Amino acid sequence: MDASDLLRNSLLQLSKQEKIRDVIEKAPVSRSVVRRFVPGVDNADVVGAATEIAASGRMSTIDYLGEDTTDLAQAQHTRDAYVSLLTALKDQGLTEGGAVEVSLKLSALGQALPGDGNTIALDHAREICEVAREAGTTVTLDMEDHTTTDLTLDALRELRADFPTVGAVLQSYLYRTEADCRDLAYEGSRVRLCKGAYKEPESVAFQSGADVDKSYVRCLKILMQGKGYPMVASHDPRLVEIAGALAGQAGRDPRSFEYQMLYGIRPEEQKRIADRGDQMRVYIPYGEEWYGYLMRRMAEKPANVAFFLRGVASKS
């Protein structure tokens, strides 16, 4: 394991440490630095960010942060937050044609609740999907750690029966993902391919960055050659270039796939991709539960750690 892999694993461990979270959240400089990656905590903040992104020719998908909810009231609050957000986005004319959509985590909607947590989460997701459809947009179902992969794909199938445009997310660090790509590369199927941002055991996932990248390319070939709608979620310049080449080899129209990058990461490259005529969607997180998200973003790319530390130093 090289130094970058060790750093990644350490940061993923930190994402679960409440004491470290408390220190970072209370540091006076943290909020100003975090706003680079998370525009704020309420609708006004994220609608403002989505408006700015739309003005530059980019699309967006919005995530109300939170996961592993074990309280029914919190799961209901998350559902209500998405309903309120979609209403606000529609009122601003941002949802037409799916220009701005939302991304959901089933664990934030109650999947981990005892008893019928899966049913509760699915019901909440259905309600959000219905509001999204009324607003003229859609939903993407985020993928979480490997223990919930099958449950998430089961929920995807159920939701697509009524809402066929619901997007899936697959993670290239899992051994199983090539097979999942083949299963989901059908007409009308929207699939976001990312590397994966959770700490997974060697029994289910590639451990080195090089192996994850190789798997990403194999999976991307399957999606680009299929009949679905690939969503290329990567900031890696090499993988972005490979994606374009694979799309060209498959004879894909620029409107038949899209690139995706995170809010605050490589914004100038995002604009460049949009300006050249390709579709670029920005993943915008918002809300109070930003700590775990921030740790995983830094784990994905060591350069993000350097950015955070520079930001802290500049504000000290």
Residues annotated as binding site?
A: 105, 143, 171, 195-197, 234-235, 296-297
> What is the reported pLDDT for 32?
66
The least confident of 22-31, 36-45, 118-127, 232-241 is 22-31
User: Which amino acid, one-letter code, is at 235?
Assistant: H
Q: Locate tokens 């999976």: which residue?
A: 219
- The predicted-structure confidence for 128-143, as pLDDT tens digits, reads as follows 999 999 999 999 999 9
Phi–psi pair at 50, nearest 5 degrees: -65, -35
> What is the reported pLDDT for 289?
81
Contact (CB, 8 A) for 114 and 75: no
Q: Is the pLDDT of residue 180 over 90?
A: yes
Over residues 4-18, mean pLDDT: 54
The yes-or-no answer on residue 126 being catalytic is no
Nearest to 217 by CA among 201, 248, 202, 238: 238
Please tell me which residue, 301 or 35, carries the higher pLDDT value: 35
Band (314; pLDDT cuts 50, 70, 90): very low
Band (311; pLDDT cuts 50, 70, 90): very low
312, two tokens: 């802290």
Band (67; pLDDT cuts 50, 70, 90): confident
Contact (CB, 8 A) for 127 and 85: no
Specify the pairing of strand 280-286 against strand 258-262: parallel
Instruction: For the chain, give the mean pLDDT.
Output: 89
Residues annotated as binding site for substrate?
A: 105, 296-297
The yes-or-no answer on residue 22 being catalytic is no
Selected catalytic residue, list 79, 160, 190, 192: 192
Q: Hey, what CATH class is 39-286 in?
A: alpha beta
Contact (CB, 8 A) for 195 and 173: yes
Q: Is the pLDDT of residue 29 over 60?
A: no
Q: State the Cα–Cα distance between residues 57 and 273, nearest whole angstrom.
A: 10
Band (9; pLDDT cuts 50, 70, 90): low
- The predicted-structure confidence for 96-120, as pLDDT tens digits, reads as follows 999 999 999 999 999 999 989 999 9
Q: In which region does residue 82 sit, left (phi positive, over 0), alpha (psi from -120 to 50) or beta (all else)?
A: alpha
Selected catalytic residue, list 142, 145, 180, 213: 142
Highest mean pLDDT among 13-22, 23-32, 222-231: 222-231
> What is the reported pLDDT for 288?
83
